[in-house]
């Protein structure tokens, strides 16, 4: 299953760039929220991680939509990895379905 996660920090921001960028991935299920990424205590993020199953792929516009700290990003990626869920970030061109994608996350210290 292809799953998308879209996050904006404030209600004044617009998620249209993220939505448009993720359309090409034939998304089956969308999770969206308007909340700061100051921590990982976000309802839709938690719901998405609980919903996703082995071999699903989560698509995000960019890594900063998932987390703003390397520590938080690392924790989220570890949760996904433990469940066998793949991650694709369009802006950074990272796809953990590939060795190159795994290497990119390793280089930034989160895989």
Phi and psi at 3, nearest 5°, equal -120, 140
CB 80 within 8 A of CB 95: no
Q: Are strands 86-89 and 57-60 parallel, antiparallel or unpaired?
A: parallel
- Per-residue tokens: 58: 């989560």
Look up 9 and say whether it is catalytic. Answer: yes
Closest CA to 5 of 39, 45, 56: 45
Residue from 9, 32, 62, 74 carrying the catalytic annotation: 9
- List active site positions: 9
């Amino acid at each position: 299953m292809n799953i998308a996660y879209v996050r904006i920090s404030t209600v004044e921001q617009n998620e249209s760039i993220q939505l448009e960028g993720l359309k090409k991935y034939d998304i089956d299920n969308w999770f969206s929220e308007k909340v700061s990424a100051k921590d990982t205590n976000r309802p839709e993020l938690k719901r998405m991680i609980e919903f996703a199953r082995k071999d699903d792929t989560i698509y995000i516009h960019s890594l900063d939509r998932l987390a703003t700290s390397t520590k938080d990003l690392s924790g989220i990626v570890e949760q996904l990895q433990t469940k066998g869920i793949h991650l694709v970030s369009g802006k950074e061109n990272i796809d953990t379905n590939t060795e190159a994608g795994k290497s990119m996350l390793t280089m930034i210290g989160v895989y």
